[in-house]
Amino acid sequence: MEKSWIVSKIPEGSHKVLDLGCATGQLGRKLFQLKKASEVIGVEIFKPAAEEAAKFYTFVHQGDVESMSLNYDHYFDYVICGDILEHLRDPWTMVAQIYNWLNSKGAIICSIPNIRYWQILRDLILFGKWNYTEAGILDNTHLRFFTRRTFLEILENAQFHIEYNDMWISGKKKNLANKVTFGFFKEFLGSQVMVVASKKAG
């Protein structure tokens, strides 16, 4: 999934950013280039990728984020989870931890695969198939699956306020279908859920 939308949700400024699952660090590098961050901390499970990201980031923690004890209470302006929460054993606890890492005006920016996607439902309902793949929504490294509604509920239960949520629809045909149906089937046409959620006041 194209992650330029994440960058677009962060205004210019000296922001402190935590990028969970930062891969080789291209997202954080872009934030620095656009003067949208003064500090970017990464977390990446794969060592070669973490070492590459460390060339651009302020610091990169290498390892399993669920096994780490990160001391960043009320520190970050933004925590980015670009297709990471579905890989975790306990995303509920991680979302609560992210809330604690954010300062009083902080926000989480995240994307997650949409299990309500039309191809998944077609294969399940018509053909009785639920086959894991090397990539995509049924990536064999995904441990948890969510619809738009259930994912938003996780954030709301953790006391986040939903500022923005939308579906990522790729391809001209699907975008046309979404327009002619006035968005009625948007949650079936979108392969990803995109969310920005802030801390609730008080």
CATH for 101: 3.40.50.150
pLDDT tens-digit readout, 55-96: 999 999 999 999 999 999 999 999 999 999 999 999 999 999
Q: Is 198 exposed, middle or buried (0-12, 13-18, 19+ CB in 10 A)?
A: middle
Sheet holding 76-82, edge to edge: 59-62, 39-44, 16-20, 76-82, 102-113, 192-199, 160-168
- Structural domain including 59 reads 4-114+142-172+191-199
Q: What is the pTM of this model?
A: 0.93
pLDDT on residue 182: 67
Handedness of CA 42, 45, 46, 48 (dihedral sign): positive
Residue 103 lies in a domain: yes
Residue 182 lies in a domain: no
Residue 134 lies in a domain: no
Residue 121 lies in a domain: no
Task: Name residue, tokens 């259930």.
Answer: 150
Residue 15 lies in a domain: yes
Per-residue pLDDT of the chain (202 residues; tens, 9 = 90+): 568 899 999 999 999 999 999 999 999 999 999 999 999 999 999 999 999 999 999 999 999 999 999 999 999 999 999 999 999 999 999 999 999 999 999 999 999 999 999 999 999 999 999 999 998 999 999 999 999 999 999 999 999 999 999 998 887 777 776 677 766 678 889 999 999 999 875 4
Instruction: State the total domains in the chain.
Output: 1
